[in-house]
Amino acid sequence: MSQHFGEHLTLDGYGGSAELLNDEALVKRLLNELPKELGMNALIEPLVVFAPENDLKDPGGWSGFVIIAESHISIHTFPKRGFISADVYTCQNGLDQEKIKRYFIDLFDLKDLEVNFVIRGTKYPDHNLI
Protein backbone atom coordinates (compact mmCIF):
# COMPACT_ATOMS: atom_id res chain seq x y z
CA MET A 1 0.00 0.00 0.00
CA SER A 2 1.37 3.42 -0.95
CA GLN A 3 1.45 6.55 1.16
CA HIS A 4 -1.03 9.34 0.58
CA PHE A 5 -0.38 11.70 -2.33
CA GLY A 6 0.40 14.83 -0.38
CA GLU A 7 -0.07 17.17 2.51
CA HIS A 8 -1.73 20.58 2.61
CA LEU A 9 -1.06 23.01 5.46
CA THR A 10 -3.15 26.17 5.68
CA LEU A 11 -2.19 29.01 7.98
CA ASP A 12 -4.16 32.05 9.08
CA GLY A 13 -2.03 34.45 11.07
CA TYR A 14 -3.29 37.22 13.35
CA GLY A 15 -1.78 40.25 15.05
CA GLY A 16 1.10 40.59 12.61
CA SER A 17 3.16 43.70 12.03
CA ALA A 18 1.46 46.00 9.49
CA GLU A 19 4.89 47.14 8.31
CA LEU A 20 6.14 43.58 7.70
CA LEU A 21 2.88 42.48 6.09
CA ASN A 22 3.10 45.43 3.70
CA ASP A 23 6.66 44.60 2.58
CA GLU A 24 6.67 43.25 -0.98
CA ALA A 25 10.34 42.21 -0.74
CA LEU A 26 9.66 40.25 2.44
CA VAL A 27 6.79 38.34 0.82
CA LYS A 28 9.05 37.54 -2.13
CA ARG A 29 11.82 36.46 0.23
CA LEU A 30 9.45 34.01 1.92
CA LEU A 31 8.49 32.49 -1.42
CA ASN A 32 12.16 32.16 -2.40
CA GLU A 33 13.44 30.81 0.93
CA LEU A 34 10.70 28.58 2.29
CA PRO A 35 10.80 25.99 -0.51
CA LYS A 36 14.56 25.62 -0.03
CA GLU A 37 14.13 25.35 3.76
CA LEU A 38 11.69 22.48 3.17
CA GLY A 39 13.77 20.68 0.55
CA MET A 40 11.41 21.64 -2.28
CA ASN A 41 12.25 22.83 -5.78
CA ALA A 42 10.85 26.01 -7.32
CA LEU A 43 9.84 25.72 -10.98
CA ILE A 44 9.37 29.46 -11.49
CA GLU A 45 10.42 32.69 -9.84
CA PRO A 46 7.87 33.72 -7.23
CA LEU A 47 5.16 36.09 -8.41
CA VAL A 48 4.10 38.83 -5.98
CA VAL A 49 1.47 41.43 -6.81
CA PHE A 50 -0.39 44.10 -4.87
CA ALA A 51 -4.08 43.33 -4.57
CA PRO A 52 -5.95 46.60 -4.09
CA GLU A 53 -8.83 47.10 -1.69
CA ASN A 54 -12.01 45.65 -3.16
CA ASP A 55 -14.65 45.95 -0.42
CA LEU A 56 -14.98 46.32 3.34
CA LYS A 57 -13.73 42.76 3.94
CA ASP A 58 -10.53 43.11 1.88
CA PRO A 59 -8.53 46.28 2.56
CA GLY A 60 -5.77 45.25 0.14
CA GLY A 61 -2.36 43.70 0.52
CA TRP A 62 0.25 41.54 -1.16
CA SER A 63 -0.54 38.22 -2.82
CA GLY A 64 2.13 35.85 -3.99
CA PHE A 65 2.77 32.31 -5.03
CA VAL A 66 5.48 30.03 -6.22
CA ILE A 67 4.96 26.85 -8.18
CA ILE A 68 7.21 24.11 -6.91
CA ALA A 69 7.88 20.68 -8.40
CA GLU A 70 6.07 19.31 -5.36
CA SER A 71 3.01 21.65 -5.81
CA HIS A 72 2.78 25.27 -4.54
CA ILE A 73 3.09 27.82 -1.76
CA SER A 74 0.83 30.87 -1.66
CA ILE A 75 0.32 33.82 0.66
CA HIS A 76 -2.04 36.77 0.96
CA THR A 77 -1.29 39.61 3.37
CA PHE A 78 -3.73 42.10 4.84
CA PRO A 79 -1.55 44.74 6.54
CA LYS A 80 -4.45 46.88 7.77
CA ARG A 81 -5.89 43.83 9.53
CA GLY A 82 -2.59 42.34 10.77
CA PHE A 83 -3.61 39.15 8.96
CA ILE A 84 -2.11 36.60 6.59
CA SER A 85 -3.61 33.61 4.84
CA ALA A 86 -1.18 31.05 3.40
CA ASP A 87 -1.06 27.57 1.88
CA VAL A 88 1.80 25.10 1.71
CA TYR A 89 0.83 22.11 -0.44
CA THR A 90 3.27 19.36 -1.33
CA CYS A 91 3.30 15.82 -2.64
CA GLN A 92 5.98 15.07 -0.07
CA ASN A 93 5.01 13.11 3.00
CA GLY A 94 6.13 14.21 6.45
CA LEU A 95 5.75 17.99 6.07
CA ASP A 96 7.58 19.80 8.89
CA GLN A 97 4.60 21.72 10.25
CA GLU A 98 6.44 23.18 13.24
CA LYS A 99 9.19 24.63 11.04
CA ILE A 100 6.60 26.23 8.75
CA LYS A 101 4.57 27.68 11.63
CA ARG A 102 7.69 29.13 13.28
CA TYR A 103 8.84 30.60 9.93
CA PHE A 104 5.59 32.53 9.44
CA ILE A 105 5.35 33.63 13.08
CA ASP A 106 8.91 34.96 13.10
CA LEU A 107 8.81 36.59 9.66
CA PHE A 108 5.61 38.59 10.22
CA ASP A 109 5.69 38.90 14.03
CA LEU A 110 2.38 37.04 14.30
CA LYS A 111 0.67 36.87 17.69
CA ASP A 112 -1.67 33.98 16.90
CA LEU A 113 -1.84 31.28 14.26
CA GLU A 114 -4.74 29.14 13.13
CA VAL A 115 -3.56 25.99 11.35
CA ASN A 116 -5.35 23.29 9.36
CA PHE A 117 -3.66 20.16 8.04
CA VAL A 118 -5.19 18.01 5.32
CA ILE A 119 -3.95 14.68 4.03
CA ARG A 120 -4.51 14.69 0.26
CA GLY A 121 -4.98 11.77 -2.12
CA THR A 122 -5.55 8.94 0.33
CA LYS A 123 -6.58 6.69 -2.57
CA TYR A 124 -3.75 7.74 -4.88
CA PRO A 125 -2.77 4.73 -7.02
CA ASP A 126 0.64 3.22 -6.34
CA HIS A 127 1.23 2.55 -10.06
CA ASN A 128 0.36 4.05 -13.44
CA LEU A 129 -3.05 3.04 -14.76
CA ILE A 130 -2.23 3.34 -18.48
Phi, psi of 79, deg, nearest 5: -55, -40
Contact of 74 with 18, CB cutoff 8 Å: no
The pLDDT of residue 1: 42
In a domain, 29, yes or no: yes
In a domain, 92, yes or no: yes
Strand order in the sheet with 6-14: 47-51, 61-68, 71-78, 83-90, 6-14, 112-120
In a domain, 60, yes or no: no
The pLDDT of residue 2: 56
In a domain, 114, yes or no: yes
CA-based torsion, 45, 39, 101, 86: positive or negative: positive
Catalytic residues: 71, 76, 91
Number of folded domains that form the chain: 1
CATH code of the domain in which 85 resides: 3.60.90
Domain of residue 107 covers: 15-55+67-120
Q: Average pLDDT per run of 10 along the chain, which is 130 residues long?
A: 84 98 98 96 97 87 97 97 97 94 98 97 91
Contact of 104 with 96, CB cutoff 8 Å: no
Q: Which of 102, 127, 120 shows the shortest CA–CA distance to 11?
A: 102
